[in-house]
Structure 1
Amino acid sequence: MTGVETRTQDLGLYIGGGWVPSASGERTKVLNPATGEVVGTVARGNAEDVDRAMEVAAAAFAAWRRVPTRERVRLQRRAAELLRARAGEFAQLLTLELGRPLAGARLEIERVANLLEDYAEEALRLRGEVPFINEGGERILVLQEPVGVVAAIAPFNYPINLLAFKLGAALPVGCTVVAKPADDTPLSTLRLAELFTEAGFPPGVFNVITGPGRVLGEAMVAHPTPRKVAFTGSTGAGQRIAEVASHTNKRLTLELGGQCPAILCADADLERAVPAITRHAFANSGQFCYRVNRIYVHEDLYAEFVERLGEAAGQLKVGHGLDAGVDLGPMVNEKIFRTSVEHVRDARAGGARIVTGGERLRGAAYDGGFFFPPTVIADATSDMKIMTEETFGPVVGVMPFTDLEDALRLANDTVYGLAAFAFTRDLAQGLRIAEAFEAGSVWINNIHRSSNLAPFGGYKQSGVGREKGRYGLESYLEYKTVYLSE
């Protein structure tokens, strides 16, 4: 491994601008998924800690909402500057708790800094309205005000980035935040809260509590103080959050699961499609919601595409995230790992062909963690788990098609609708495919990260609401109509 600092992080809850112990006094270990070694411990919070954090956030909101927007924006820009200056430190911490290769972890930190700045810029562009109604002696003012305290719950796979989707929108418009990171990856989020305090944010504006996921998360959602819940995670968890939040009519932004299709038409450019799909399907060991999960390829290109994708996937290097040249790290835990194993097993049983990968990696370099290689499953059928369920791992299914309408029908035959992808040299056809896809984001002829300035979210059971850009900011605002008479 590279010679980097790996000291153990032992952190408390972060409430009111400082470290505090949990009410229980208990602690939880954080493990390196590549080795099983303890890289830190965090406080094990409970409902009493939720009460304390919400009380502090509510008190801070009363003052924070009155701070001029330009000053809130200045502080957020300062936080972005500090994060860039410490990108190496945060990237290392991400790699230790998540297992992602160091270069990818550093890229996440840089993207977070960019997102914080982009949100800050958008906050300065928010406007109210004075409708032109010409009523004698009366004016109508349409104002926008911060919704209040926000409960932000982020997943393990991009713990800082997906929290920033919420935090970066909430703070500059005047909301305060109580955040809960995933059980597997709490360290970087706690350190981020400390950094925001250093940037000058007042105590209580950004708080972090850690503890058992479902228990603590449900206590946050059920608590009467938050006016909004922002969550990224599984569809099942999102449904439970919506149920609990309905009792207090909380505002919701839910970015949930995905089972994202790609279609390669007969005229697709494989020189572009194969690298793009390889890059996107296996990034972060496949542990993200809008990755390519299933691929429909026109029969004229099918054999060549499968061969090329298998070769490209087989060249990716799997290993410890701190080692040089590694493309994929381990799966974060056994539960996530088991889904990939099951999807491969199901495909084999159904007669599919494993082009590359398909077996857990073994040996001295791998036995300490849950390492699974990039896996390409050819000759899949539409009833297999790889084509119907979210894998959240480095496994893709491929099947041929003859008629484009059949491919579109199969692509949309899912409860999910987060993202979709298509490759065709005919741009008019590409636009028709984009319009036919039932998905919140569509990529034609390339795949890259979603833009900070464009809305991100899903159709159907992939979520509620949108994040990023002005669309994300507006979801943290309430409209107030004032009728002003002389």
Structure 2
Amino acid sequence: MENFIKGSWSKPNSGRYAEVLNPCTGAVVDTFACSDLTDVAQVMQVAQEAYRDWRKTPVAVRARLQHAAARLMREQADELAQILAQELGRPMVGCQTEISRSADLLDFYAEEGLRLKGEIPLHNLDGEKALIVREPVGVVVAITPFNYPITLLTMKLGAALIAGCAVVSKPSEDTPLSTLRLAELFMQAGYPAGVFNVITGYGHEIGNALIDHPATAKIAFTGGTGTGKRIGALAAMHNKRVTLELGGQSPAIVCADANLAVAVPAIVRHAFANSGQFCYRVNRLYVHESIYDGFLEQMVALTANLRVGHPQSGADMGPMVNAKIYQNSEVQVADALSKGAVLKTGGQRLTGPDYDNGWFFPPTVLANTDHSMKIMTEETFGPVVGVMPFSTVEEAVQRANDSEYGLAGYVFSENLSTGLRVAESLEAGSVWINNIHRSYHDVPFGGYKQSGIGREKGRYGVEAYTELKTIYLNY
């Protein structure tokens, strides 16, 4: 496939294309354009020109178009889900859920945009007023990863477009096809050409050029912390705005009085969803020593029943997206075992006719872990969980906060006071008490410490794509 620029397909200046591989089979799904600096210059000029008119478009018109795009996503959900399943390997149910929730988020942002307001402070000065207004920040570069390519893009795209910004999207080279198809649907919904563009390519060169370009006003990035730091440094050289949603190493604390009938299924579901390939999954567990053995027994039994397979097989989990992501799980398991951890289930690559051509790693539980092990300190981005006992709640909180990350945390306790005190003490942008479910569209999402800068979702997400201006009026 080619780039999608100014409402139509655009061949890369280089004339080169790369392959998108199915992570289940290794088969070629399609190709994508290997763009160069000429393509960057073209797409940024197009976006800048489109922005000049789009920023003047009434918000009600922008909202109607965004609702129309959401409707088209629902109508084409099966096709989009099939594309996702082929390039990502995730089970079909999960792919369909991603499309529907992303459409819901677009609808929410559309309505939230209509609620944006300015202010007139009551200074009570004769013949004078101060007007506080919001204006779109400008052209936004959205750089997104492979794991939830549509959701993580719409978190940026829906907010930016309703605020009046134009968007240039650079998707992951592992999953560019779904983003390119989404751009087609937005054009079909009636968006002006050039308001939403997609450029693809390998390596840092294209991303750096998009960030450095004079037309870029803001960079919205989801991905690894190391890459996020590099993007932040480049943006800071020109004082460009950023929203960075970065890595996580999220802890869960299971207190002695936790309801295990709720806690165990919630943790297993969240730890192994999307084969563990998302940033705010449960990565490490701290379980009170009085219930440690019983908790492990229940967790291992539930985990061992999860099925791993191809998207159409009805499996609970699919493969890792590529060799690099897969190897991280292998490395962390080997590291933990070499330092005294106990393997309770999983831990070795799946083999056989259904698995040999893909990157399949089973859901894995490691017991008796500690903070000398990578599984408890580094982001895994795979279906591996470390479990460690604790004696006091204070100890568990200290361990949970002993991390450079601060994206999410989880606590299970039937004592509401304990749950709230732990939640207040955890250094994390989001904390769940006594269950784990998807984040809501109307509340902010983002992290403390090395897990990022800024927030997405809710009115906070829309406001992040605006600049405040004060107008002093004398009359």
Q: TM-score, normalised by structure 2?
A: 1.00
Does the residue aligned with 1:466 lie in a helix, a strand or coil? Answer: coil
Equivalent in 39, 45, 50 of residue 49 of structure 1:
39
Contact 1:182–1:213 (CA under 8 A) maintained in structure 2: no
Pairing 1:448–2:464 present? no
User: What is the match of residue 60 of structure 2?
Assistant: 70
Q: Which residue in 1 is equivalent to 2:230? A: 240
* Residues 72-91 of structure 1 aligned to structure 2 (within 5 Å): 72-91=62-81
User: Does 2:319 align with 1:322?
Assistant: no
Displacement, 1:369? 0.5
Aligned partner (choices 361, 376, 383) of residue 387 of structure 1:
376
Q: Does 1:367 align with 2:374?
A: no
1:436 partner letter: S
Q: How does 1:130-279 map to 2 (within 5 A)?
A: 130-279=120-269
Distance 2:452 2:474 in 1: 42
- Counterpart residue type for residue 328 of structure 2: T
Cα shift readout 1:91-149 (whole Å, capped 9, x = no counterpart):
00000000000110000000000000001110010000000001121100001000000
Residue in structure 1 matched with residue 282 of structure 2 by the alignment: 292
- How far apart in 1 are the matches of 2:36 and 2:317? 35
Matched, 1:351 2:340: yes
Give the number of aligned pairs. Answer: 475
Matched, 1:15 2:5: yes
What CA distance in whole angstroms lies between the structure 2 residues aligned with 1:326 and 1:409?
37
Q: Which amino acid aligns with 1:425?
A: E
Alpha-carbon separation, structure 2, partners of 1:339 and 1:42: 26
Identity, in percent, stands at 60
- Quick check: 1:436 aligned with 2:401? no
1:119 aligns to what?
109
Task: Report the aligned-residue RMSD.
Answer: 0.6
Give the match's secondary structure for 1:97.
helix
Q: Work out which of the residue numbers 322, 328, 331 in structure 2 matches 1:339.
A: 328
User: How much has 1:322 moved relative to structure 2?
Assistant: 2.1
Residue from 83, 95, 98 that aligns with 1:108: 98
Structure 2 gaps, min length 5 = none
SS of 1:172's equivalent in the other structure is helix
What code does the residue aligned with 1:231 have?
F
Q: Determine the C-alpha separation between the residues in 1 that align with 2:46 and 2:129.
A: 38
Q: Which consecutive residues of structure 1, in runs of 5 or more, have no partner in the other structure?
A: 1-10
CA contact under 8 A between 1:183 and 1:213: conserved in structure 2?
Answer: no
- Match in the other structure for 2:446: 457
Which residue matches 1:397? 386
Contact 1:331 1:337 in 2 (8 A): yes
Alpha-carbon offset, residue 351 of structure 1 = 1.1
- The corresponding residue for 1:419 is 408
Aligned: 1:476 with 2:465: yes
| Preserved contact between residue 265 and residue 404 of structure 1 (Cα < 8 Å) | yes
Query: For residues 307 and 343 of structure 1, what CA distance do their matches in structure 2 show?
Result: 22
2:308 aligned with 1:301: no
Give the Å deviation of 1:253: 0.1
| C-alpha separation in 1, matches of 2:404 and 2:340 | 25
Q: Structure 1 CA distance, aligned partners of 2:37 and 2:408?
A: 36
Question: What SS does the aligned partner of 1:398 have?
Answer: strand
Q: Aligned-pair distance for 1:213?
A: 3.7
Aligned residue type for 2:4:
Y
What is the TM-score of this pair, normalised by structure 1? 0.97
Q: Distance in 1 between matches of 2:303 and 2:212?
A: 44
Q: How big is the shift at 1:200?
A: 0.2
